[in-house]
Amino acid sequence: MTETSRHGNFDFIRLTAAFMVLIGHAFIIMGKQSPTFLGIEISVFGVMIFFSISGYLVSESWIRDPSVMRYMARRSLRIFPALVAVILLSTFLLGPVFTTLSHHDYFTNRQTYTYLENIFLVTQRSLPEVFKNNPQSLRVNDSLWTLPIELLMYLFLPVLTFLHGQKNALIFAALTIFISLIFTFYLPTIGGGEITQNSSIYLVELIIFEVAKVSMFFMAGVFIRYVFMTLKPPLVLATSLFFSTIGMYYLADINLYLLYVSLAFSLPFFINALGESPKVRLPSLNRVGDLSYGIYLYAFPIQQIIAHFFIGKISVFTAIVIAVIPTACFAYVSWHLLEKKALILKTKLQIG
């Protein structure tokens, strides 16, 4: 989700995906049912787009410079500076303001400091008594769940690319199919919300489901990059396959396994072909920068603040409109003060 590209269209596509996450979360945060596309919540669909691009571009980075140390340094410099900032701001600024506890009780509560584990990609969803009365009670930033999965994908990539060139495509095609089958297997029970027990077995199954839900798109993105080693993915073919998948879902009674195997390939194919297209030029974001990661990180807590004050008083649409400006402002500052400087540091350290 966080790989920066010199390809012009990707910044706009990522920004669109970030706003899909913001819009989808707005419904849930305001206590409403999230809209769906292809049976998937649009916030999750936005994340799937992020992972589709990430697999494609991160594998390009690895192919260009297959040094594990430099590769992981690049990934770390892209993920952690902005992440550390949002976690510290949430813990020491947002938390004290919106907790129902006294400041003494808040700062002496162990959970306050447990939340800092998010910096190390150990997902912690709550700060003590923060947003207790919101529909998404005690949830500070539900967007963070994808970052450990993304790091896991980053770690897998060098391990799995033990062949040379396009031979690696077979590995990632097989992984994409296997993971999408796992996702589809758990979808009726976990994705459909039919199982609610809190057993250890269920928690393991839930983790597998959550990882599979997005990792298949990362794997497919890598697959596409290895297939088109020296060429740009053809947009006409990619568009045809993606819209065929949409047609299969809305117009045909298709087997779910076949549907999600098809989506796992067709979505990354379409998104990355569009990102690489020399003929379709999406609006340039060079002047404002790549705000997508900042929007992704800051939208949920800002939307929770809006719900804290306005739940039951404004519509979801109004909540979305109110959230956009402060979220974009935080994302702009994050890009120019942290993320952009980290990218410059990568160059200074000669790590690509």
pLDDT single digits (tens) 200-247 = 778 888 899 999 999 999 999 999 999 998 888 999 999 999 999 999
- Confidence category of residue 194, pLDDT binned at 50, 70, 90: low
For residue 158, pLDDT over 80 is answered with: yes
For residue 155, pLDDT over 80 is answered with: yes
For residue 166, pLDDT over 80 is answered with: no
Select, from the ranges 63-67, 71-75, 236-240, the one with the highest average predicted confidence (pLDDT). 236-240
Amino acid identity, position 194: E
For residue 195, pLDDT over 50 is answered with: yes
- Confidence category of residue 187, pLDDT binned at 50, 70, 90: confident
The secondary structure element, H or E, covering residue 41 is strand 40-41
- Confidence category of residue 338, pLDDT binned at 50, 70, 90: very high
Axis crossing angle, helix 42-64 with helix 8-29, rounded to the nearest 10: 150
- Confidence category of residue 284, pLDDT binned at 50, 70, 90: confident
State percent of the chain over pLDDT 70: 92
Contact (CB, 8 A) for 320 and 47 = no
196: three-class secondary structure by DSSP:
coil
Q: What angle do CA 38, 57, 7 make, to 5 degrees?
A: 95
Total residues found in the chain within this entry: 352
Closest by alpha carbon to 40, among 245, 274, 179? 245
- Which whole number is the average pLDDT over 326-332? 98
Cα separation of 157 and 314, whole Å?
45
Bridge partners (DSSP) listed for residue 41:
36
305: three-class secondary structure by DSSP:
helix
Q: Residue 285 has what pLDDT?
A: 87
Q: Residue 253 has what pLDDT?
A: 80
State percent of the chain over pLDDT 90: 76
Q: Residue 165 has what pLDDT?
A: 65
Q: Which residues contact 343 (CB under 8 A, 6 or more apart)?
A: 4, 77, 78
Higher pLDDT: 297 or 352? It is 297
For residue 317, pLDDT over 80 is answered with: yes
Mean pLDDT score across all residues of the chain: 91
Q: Which residues contact 174 (CB under 8 A, 6 or more apart)?
A: none
Q: Residue 4 has what pLDDT?
A: 43
Kindly list the distances between the CA atom of residue 93 and the CA atoms of 44, 49, 90, in Å, as whole numbers in the listed order: 28, 31, 6
Q: Residue 5 has what pLDDT?
A: 43
Cα separation of 117 and 331, whole Å?
22
- Which whole number is the average pLDDT over 297-301? 98
Q: Which two tokens stand for residue 218?
A: 């990362």
- Confidence category of residue 3, pLDDT binned at 50, 70, 90: very low
For residue 66, pLDDT over 90 is answered with: no
